[in-house]
Amino acid sequence: MKNTAKLNEYVKNHSTEEDKVLQELDRATHLHVLRARMLSGHEQGMLLYLLVRMLKPQRILELGTYTGYSAISMAKGLDDGAKLISIDKNDELLPFAQEFVRKAHLEDKIELLSGDAKNLIPSLNDTFDLVFLDAHKAEYIDYYNLVFDKIPSGGFILADNVLWDSKVLEDTPDSDAQTQGIIAFNKLIKKNNRVENLILPIRDGINIIRKK
Ligand SMILES: C[S@@+](CC[C@H](N)C(=O)[O-])C[C@H]1O[C@@H](n2cnc3c(N)ncnc32)[C@H](O)[C@@H]1O
């Protein structure tokens, strides 16, 4: 695309500004937490928020809370009475994420669970209209298989980082486990006729998957 930098600036200047609490969360994550580039950020957070406003899910499941940016972005869009459960296995991040959930006044909408998603998902009794996959890339197929029966027909999975810094183009036997995991996941979705999907090339790629 021509003028990519200018167009990105134009898009930014003609889209809704980042919420103040999310701005503070982004800054605090970059100052105090390792691997801050994992945070979704404004463009993706806004997309998640708007998708929640469109789809009006009653229950959202997020795998990979990190410092809470995507959880807060999605929960901001939920109707009264609707809820989001977010799981992360790094319990050191829990107090940090919890503080920002409080600052965003979303304690009644967000439940943060600490533990390995692969162990916790089977114990969740709810069904989920929307599932956001954003934990370990080598485990996407495991998460997908564990959540599939908990999603009603017409429900959605959003899988983040499915272009994996363009490494999906390097489909070689010695690519690392996360790259192989993403490549295998995208192939599985493409050939699974129980879903329909589109990979949106926003940020690191989001696979939008609808269960038929
Ligand atoms: C990319 S970050 C999530 C970013 C977050 N969704 C955001 O937008 O700010 C991935 C997170 O997944 C967590 N994680 C990795 N494997 C996991 C697993 N098996 N179960 C639960 N959490 C896991 C990591 O601890 C890390 O915090």
Which pTM does this prediction carry? 0.97
Ligand 1 pocket check for 70: Cβ under 6 Å: yes
Residue located nearest, by CA, to atom 25 of ligand 1: 90
pLDDT tens for each residue of the chain, 212 residues long: 578 889 989 999 999 999 999 999 999 999 999 999 999 999 999 999 999 999 999 999 999 999 999 999 999 999 999 999 999 999 999 999 999 999 999 999 999 999 999 999 999 999 999 999 999 999 999 999 999 999 999 999 999 999 999 999 987 878 899 999 999 999 999 999 999 999 999 999 999 999 99
Q: Spell out the domains of the chain, with CATH numbers in brackets.
A: 18-211 (3.40.50.150)
- Compute φ and ψ for 39, nearest 5 degrees: -65, 140
Ligand 1 pocket check for 66: Cβ under 6 Å: yes
Ligand 1: atom nearest CA of 73 is: 8
SS3 113: strand
